[in-house]
Amino acid sequence: MSSDSLFADRAAVLATMHRKEQVMAPILETELGVRILLPENFDSDRFGTFTRDIKRPGDQQQTARIKAESAMELTGHSLAVANEGSFGPHPLMPYISCNRELAILVDRENDLEIVGQALSTATNYSHQQVTTVAEARSFADKIGFPQHGLVAMADPDARSQTEIFKGIDTEDRLIEVVNSMLAKFDRVHLETDMRAMYNPTRMQVIAQATQDLVKVAKQCCPQCQRPGFAVIRRRQGLPCSWCGLPTELTLADIYQCQKCNFSREVLFPDDRETADPGRCFYCNP
């Protein structure tokens, strides 16, 4: 069994209505041999929106899985792919924004779930309150408008957005929306539209997550040959290059098969065998 024989020539439903097939379909079709189909009438917005008007049903991976399952439900196919993105402060460098994309493949026929991911600081994720059209234009310039779209709303914290304008991607539309809102409110909250088709930068990170998904799908269990032999945990303890004491850096990746539970530890996954003394609690407390 390999990823080729499991997936080749099968239809895989891609759970999207935001044109993610533009980047995901070529990678999945070339690398896994699947035929990508788009479900008709698939409303991915009901699984949550970045503009917070609809809450996500679970964490990022659960939400991606729910999307894939609902696409299978809708179409009757047994193989589906979905993506879910999140934006926020970088986990290690909280002063920079980052974009984490997950790509998930769910195969009901073989009871298999494979996850790929990408973490990128290349994101225009941002927001600003503006009180004039000039301020709105200057924010738009900063975020790569009009190739990247904008969202405008009155109050970003309101539970239910009474007035929200998404997918603003022309100068005329931006001016029209900002003017009409400033006639009613003191200020307008502008934010980047993070939906894939309005955000080519995000689209690239979705492509990276899809590449990672394909890479994991091609890693087969050494014992039972099942695809998706993936890292389930990273073990800390890379020794300091001066004193040899364990640091918080990764010493080993632990892989495990979902089917037969075979597991393997791979030492030095980050291509280094010792840690910089700057990361050592003893040498650099």
Q: Which residue ranges make up the site for Zn ion (CB under 5 A)?
A: 221, 223-224, 226, 240, 242-243, 257, 259-260, 262, 280, 282-283
Name the one residue in this structure whose structure tokens are 């006639």.
183
In terms of Cα–Cα distance, which of 41, 24, 44 is closest to 195?
44
Rounded Cα–Cα distance for residues 162 and 151 (Å): 13
Q: Least distance to Zn ion from the beta carbon of 109, Å?
A: 17
Q: Least distance to Zn ion from the beta carbon of 204, Å?
A: 33
In terms of Cα–Cα distance, which of 222, 215, 260, 9 is closest to 112?
260
Q: Least distance to Zn ion from the beta carbon of 114, Å?
A: 13
- Looking at the Cβ atoms of 87 and 262, the one nearer to Zn ion is 262
Q: Least distance to Zn ion from the beta carbon of 106, Å?
A: 18
- Looking at the Cβ atoms of 98 and 240, the one nearer to Zn ion is 240
The token duo for 156 is 């970003």
- Looking at the Cβ atoms of 131 and 236, the one nearer to Zn ion is 236
How do beta strands 11-14 and 79-89 pair?
Answer: parallel
In terms of Cα–Cα distance, which of 95, 94, 89, 82 is closest to 56?
82
Decide if 217 contacts 32 (C-beta within 8 A). Answer: yes
Q: Least distance to Zn ion from the beta carbon of 249, Å?
A: 12
- Looking at the Cβ atoms of 62 and 274, the one nearer to Zn ion is 274
- Looking at the Cβ atoms of 73 and 273, the one nearer to Zn ion is 273
